[in-house]
Structure 1
Amino acid sequence: MNDLTLPEPIAAYFAADTQNPEAVARCFAAQAVVKDEGHTHIGLDAIKAWKAAASAQYTYTTQPFTLEREAGSQVVQAHVTGNFPGSPVDLRYRFRLERGLIASLEITA
Structure 2
Amino acid sequence: MTDLALPEPIAAYFAAEHNPQELAHCFTGQAVMKDDGHTYRGVPAILAFMASASAKYSATSVPFALEREGGLQVVRARVTGKFPGSPLDLSYRFRLERGLIASLEIAA
Rounded to whole Å, the distance in 2 between the matches of 1:20 and 1:68 is 26
* Helix, strand or coil at the partner of 1:4: coil
**1:7 equivalent in structure 2:** 7
1:66 — aligned with what?
65
CA distance in 2, matches of 1:35, 1:22: 20
What secondary structure sits across from 1:86 in the alignment? coil
**8-17 or 79-88: bigger deviation:** 79-88
Alignment of 1:46 onto 2:45 = yes
RMSD: 0.7
* Residue 19 (structure 2) pairs with residue 20 (structure 1): yes
Mapped partners of 2:89, 2:42: distance in 1:
26
> C-alpha separation between the residues in 2 aligned to 1:100 and 1:87?
32
Which ranges of structure 2 fall in alignment gaps of 5 or more residues? none
Query: What residue in structure 2 maps to residue 86 of structure 1?
Result: 85
Q: Percent identity?
A: 69
CA positional deviation for 1:79: 0.3
CA distance in 2, matches of 1:21, 1:86: 25
Normalising by the residue count of structure 1, what TM-score does the alignment of the two structures yield?
0.96
* Regions of 4+ moved over 3 Å: none
For 1:62-82, what per-residue CA distance to the aligned partner results, in whole angstroms no more than 9, with x for missing partners?
Answer: 110000000100000000111
Give 1:95 deviation, angstroms: 0.1
